[in-house]
Structure 1
Amino acid sequence: MTGRSQDRLDAALARIGGRTVDHRMDVADWSAIEAFFARSGTIDHLVIAASGGAGSGPFAQLDLDQLAAGFDGKFWPHIRILQAALPHLCKDGSITLITSASGHAALPGTAGLAAVNGALAAMVPPLAVELAPLRINAVSPGVIDTPWWDQVPAEQREALFHGLAATTPAGRVGRPEDVAQAIHMLAANTFVTDIVLDCTGGANLPTGR
Structure 2
Amino acid sequence: MSAPSLNLAGKKVVIVGGKSGIGQGIARGAQAAGATVIVASRRVASAQSRPDLIGFEQVSLDMGDESSVRSAFEAIGPFDHLVVTAAPDIGSWGVFMDADMSGVRSYMEGKFLGTWACARYAAPNLRAHGSITFLSGGMAVRPKLGFTAVTSAFAAVEALSGSLAVELAPTRVNTIRPGFIDTDMWGFLPVEARAGLKKKVEESFPARRAGQAEDIAHAALFLMTNPYVTGTVLEVSGGENLVASVS
**How much identity, in percent, do the aligned residues show?**
32
Q: Measure the CA separation in 2 of the matches of 1:145 and 1:56.
A: 24
- Given candidates 125, 130, 137, the residue that maps to 2:162 is 125
Q: CA deviation at 1:206?
A: 4.5
Q: Which has the higher helix share?
A: 1
TM-score by length of 2: 0.75
The answer (yes or no) to whether the contact 2:93–2:106 under 8 Å persists in 1 is: yes
Q: 1: distance between equivalents of 2:97 and 2:106?
A: 18
Which residue does 2:62 correspond to in 1? Answer: 26
Q: Kindly indicate whether residue 146 of structure 2 is the aligned counterpart of residue 106 of structure 1.
A: no
- Corresponding position: 1:4 with 2:42: yes
Q: Give the CA deviation at 1:172.
A: 1.8
The separation in 2 between residues aligned to 1:63 and 1:169, in whole angstroms, is 40
Q: Whole-Å Cα distance in 2 between the matches of residues 147 and 162 of structure 1?
A: 16
Q: Contact 1:139–1:197 (CA<8 Å) still a contact in 2?
A: yes
Tell me the matched-pair count.
Answer: 203
When residues 55 and 136 of structure 1 are mapped into structure 2, their CA distance, relative to the original with a 3 A threshold, is same
The Cα RMSD (Å) is 2.2
Normalising by the residue count of structure 1, what TM-score does the alignment of the two structures yield?
0.87
Q: Which amino acid aligns with 1:122?
A: A
Note closer, same or farther for the CA distance 1:154–1:32 as it changes in structure 2 (3 Å cut).
Answer: same
Cα separation, 2, equivalents of 1:89 and 1:159: 43
Which has the higher relative contact order, 1 or 2, with Cα contacts under 8 A spaced 6 or more apart?
2
Aligned AA for 1:43?
Answer: F
Do the aligned partners of 1:142 and 1:174 also contact (CA within 8 Å) in 2?
Answer: yes
**Alignment correspondent of 1:38:** 74
Match of 2:102 among 65, 80, 84: 65
Cα shift readout 1:185-204 (whole Å, capped 9, x = no counterpart): 11110111011111111111
Matched letter for residue 44 of structure 2: Q
Q: Gaps spanning 5+ residues in structure 2: where? A: 1-38
Asked if 1:157 corresponds to 2:197, the answer is no
Q: Deviations over 1:155-176 (max 9, x none)?
A: 0111111112211011122111
- Conserved? CA contact 1:56–1:62, under 8 Å: no
Question: Distance between the aligned counterparts of 1:189 and 1:91, measured in 2?
Answer: 14
The 8 Å contact of residues 42 and 61 in structure 2, kept in 1 or not, is answered as: yes
- What secondary structure, in the 3-state scheme, does the structure 1 residue paired with 2:240 have? coil
Change (3 A) 1:143 1:207: closer
Q: Aligned equivalents of 2:106 and 2:221: distance in 1?
A: 30
Structure 1 gap segments, 5+ residues each: none
Q: AA paired with 1:2?
A: A
